[in-house]
Amino acid sequence: MKPEHSQESVAPLGSDTGTMPKESRRRLIQGGLAGAPLLMALTSVPALAAECKQPSGFSASGNFSQNGTTACSPKMNGVKFWQDFCTATPAPTTHPVDTKTFSGVFAATTGVTATFRNILMTSGTPIQKKIVAAWLSANAGSSLFTASTAVKMWNDGIVGGAFHPSATMPSVTWNAAQVELYLDYVLA
């Protein structure tokens, strides 16, 4: 059987300068190209697995579960954090935990005039404690959502039964159970 190509046709060609390419450079380029997909896979996964989903991303996929076994990280300060804060910082303070009342922030709520401290420490229901913790954390500068989003979650989702987590997908709505599920996902 006759080979397809002669030895001369598969010999390396010279470069423009008349010198032969170095074998080490050829191996480096071939090795770099072969490893590119692996490098891309290794650098993209941690970025996706280490962040919490914002409300729009949490519902857009219909996925109300965590990312496999990886918890939402970093989480927002949860109820326990704010209860510990209240215990360590006796009232009265100028902090929103003492200056804000539940019905003063969450407009759809009437008759719940307790301060955030009282909601967290004694009189609040579990969902009230979660929404207060979410509001306090958002007000302190959380990157997941703003304090006004926490208010909308309560007013529209808990009280009204129809919170819209994404402005670009107005047909998606959350009821009280779905809002609470999201709060459980993002609060520490």
Cβ contact 133:82 at 8 Å: yes
Angle, vertex CA 96, rays to CA 93 and CA 98, nearest 5: 45
Q: Give the CA diameter of the chain.
A: 95
- Any bridge partners for residue 70, and if so which? 67
Measured distance CA(1)–CA(8) in Å, rounded: 18
Is residue 43 pLDDT above 50, yes or no? no
Is residue 102 pLDDT above 60, yes or no? yes
Measured distance CA(110)–CA(169) in Å, rounded: 30
The predicted structure's pLDDT at residue 51: 56
Measured distance CA(83)–CA(70) in Å, rounded: 26
Residue 108 pLDDT level (bands cut at 50, 70, 90): confident
* pLDDT tens-place string over residues 109-118: 778 899 999 9
Q: What is the mean pLDDT of the chain?
A: 77
Cβ contact 76:142 at 8 Å: yes
Is residue 72 pLDDT above 90, yes or no? no
Is residue 173 pLDDT above 80, yes or no? yes
Return the percentage of the chain with pLDDT > 70, whole number: 61
Residue 11 pLDDT level (bands cut at 50, 70, 90): low
Measured distance CA(137)–CA(134) in Å, rounded: 5
Which residue in the block uniquely carries the two structure tokens 């979410």? 134
> Between 41 and 165, where is the model more confident?
165
Is residue 47 pLDDT above 50, yes or no? no
Q: How many residues does the chain have?
A: 188
Is residue 93 pLDDT above 80, yes or no? yes
The predicted structure's pLDDT at residue 187: 93
The predicted structure's pLDDT at residue 95: 96
CA-closest candidate to residue 128, choices 82, 94, 74, 167: 82
- Extents of the domains making up the chain: 55-186
Sequence letter at residue 134: A
pTM attached to this predicted model? 0.66
